[in-house]
Structure formats: structure tokens, C-alpha cells
């Protein structure tokens, strides 16, 4: 037996992304966003409304960063999602995050997030709130690498369970992509 819930925006788990931007004065801001995903090999797509401080910053600077929230950054990551830079000018100081400028774009990285994508703005559709960014670089702290590649077990990214308003940790390997399915080909 199945239960129908009608239309719900339920895709889970959703990666929790932290979007970093500078305002016109170079002041950093960050927001928590889970409605994001890949568009093409070099493109990230986000659904963020025009009233966010982050959106305004990105439209002005044409650059942003996208970091993966982790178990270690859960509290700060949630904080930058529940507090708006439009309402609290001390938001970033309260978050405890430490900013440094990205190497390839005019946007902040944060020391606490070990994996960050540096992006330039491709387009923003204000009517549908879709923002498209070109990924120009991915920087990863060596502490979360294994054999020279990002290791989810070390990174411990968190995911958003929208159905239950919870954060989940992503880390266990349960199969081999582009391999295990071949067992059915026999």
C-alpha cells in the first residue's frame, strides 16, 4: 500500500551547499542552500530567490563560491541559512567562519569548509529563481584527500532531509558506480 502526499518538493537527501559572496564593499556573506545541482560538466544550478543578500551580491560581482557543508560545520552552516545578511550585518562574525579570498574568482572561501567550487555567474532567471554558475576551479584541503582525490568519508558532507527537516551525514560506500549494474547483463 502506498500513501499519496500530493505535490511536494521532496528529493532527498539533498547536498547542503554554502554559497559565498562579497557585497559591493568586499564584505563576505554566506547562505545555506540545498536546492542546487549540476547542470552540465562545468555548471552548477541553484534555486535562490532575488531577495537574498547572496543573490544581490552575486548579481553585482558576477562571482561566488559553493562549499560542501560538513558534520564539523553543521551549526555554522545552519546558522547562515536561518539568519539573513539583509537583517543582521554581523551575521558572518556570529557564524564563526573565517574568510579568505578565492584564487580564481572575486568571492570568499571559508577555512572551515574543506571543499569549495569557485564559480562565475552565467545567468539568473529572476522569474523562476534559477541561478547558473560556471565552475572554474574546485579547491580541496589535503586533509580530506585519499590517493589524491576527495574522500567522502573524510569530508563527511551533510545532506538535507527536507521531509523531516534533518541533516544526514554522507560517508558510507554501498556500491560501485558504473560497475555493479553489469551483474544483470549476464
- Nearest CA-CA partner of 118 in 22, 41, 20: 20
**Per-residue model confidence (pLDDT) at position 8:** 82
Asked whether residue 164 is domain-assigned, the answer is yes
**Per-residue model confidence (pLDDT) at position 35:** 82
**Per-residue model confidence (pLDDT) at position 36:** 84
User: Cα(32)–Cα(135) distance, rounded to whole angstroms?
Assistant: 18
Asked whether residue 1 is domain-assigned, the answer is no
Q: How many domains does the structure of the chain reveal?
A: 1
User: Cα(17)–Cα(51) distance, rounded to whole angstroms?
Assistant: 18
- Nearest CA-CA partner of 126 in 28, 65, 56: 56
Asked whether residue 7 is domain-assigned, the answer is no
Asked whether residue 36 is domain-assigned, the answer is yes
- Nearest CA-CA partner of 115 in 133, 88, 141: 141
Mean pLDDT by 10 residues, the chain (186 residues): 84 88 96 87 93 96 97 97 93 97 98 98 95 97 96 93 90 86 88
Asked whether residue 5 is domain-assigned, the answer is no
Asked whether residue 181 is domain-assigned, the answer is yes
Grid cell 522569474 in the structure block, residue: 127
> Residue 114 is part of a domain; what is its CATH number?
2.30.110.10
**Per-residue model confidence (pLDDT) at position 137:** 97
**Residue 80 lies in domain:** 14-185
Asked whether residue 9 is domain-assigned, the answer is no
DSSP bridge pairs for 72: none
**Per-residue model confidence (pLDDT) at position 5:** 84
Asked whether residue 29 is domain-assigned, the answer is yes
Q: Within a 13 Å sphere around the CA of 115, how many CA atoms are in the beta-carbon half?
A: 19
The DSSP letter of residue 70 is B
Amino acid at each position: 500500500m502506498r500513501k499519496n502526499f500530493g505535490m511536494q518538493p521532496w528529493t532527498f537527501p539533498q547536498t547542503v551547499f554554502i554559497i559565498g559572496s562579497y557585497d559591493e564593499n568586499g564584505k563576505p556573506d554566506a547562505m545555506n542552500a540545498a536546492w542546487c545541482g549540476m547542470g552540465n560538466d562545468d555548471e552548477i544550478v541553484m534555486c535562490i530567490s532575488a531577495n537574498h543578500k547572496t543573490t544581490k551580491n552575486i548579481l553585482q560581482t558576477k562571482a561566488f563560491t559553493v562549499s560542501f557543508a560538513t558534520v564539523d560545520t553543521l551549526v555554522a552552516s545552519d546558522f547562515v541559512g536561518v539568519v539573513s545578511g539583509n537583517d543582521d550585518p554581523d551575521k558572518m562574525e556570529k557564524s564563526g567562519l573565517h574568510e579568505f579570498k578565492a584564487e580564481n574568482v572575486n568571492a570568499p572561501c571559508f577555512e572551515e569548509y574543506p571543499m569549495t567550487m569557485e564559480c562565475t555567474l552565467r545567468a539568473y532567471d529572476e522569474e523562476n529563481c534559477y541561478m547558473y554558475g560556471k565552475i572554474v576551479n574546485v579547491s580541496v584541503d589535503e586533509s580530506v584527500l585519499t590517493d589524491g582525490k576527495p574522500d567522502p568519508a573524510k569530508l563527511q558532507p551533510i545532506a538535507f532531509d527536507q521531509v523531516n527537516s534533518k541533516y544526514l551525514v554522507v560517508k558510507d560506500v554501498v556500491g560501485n558506480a558504473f560497475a555493479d549494474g553489469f551483474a544483470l547483463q549476464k
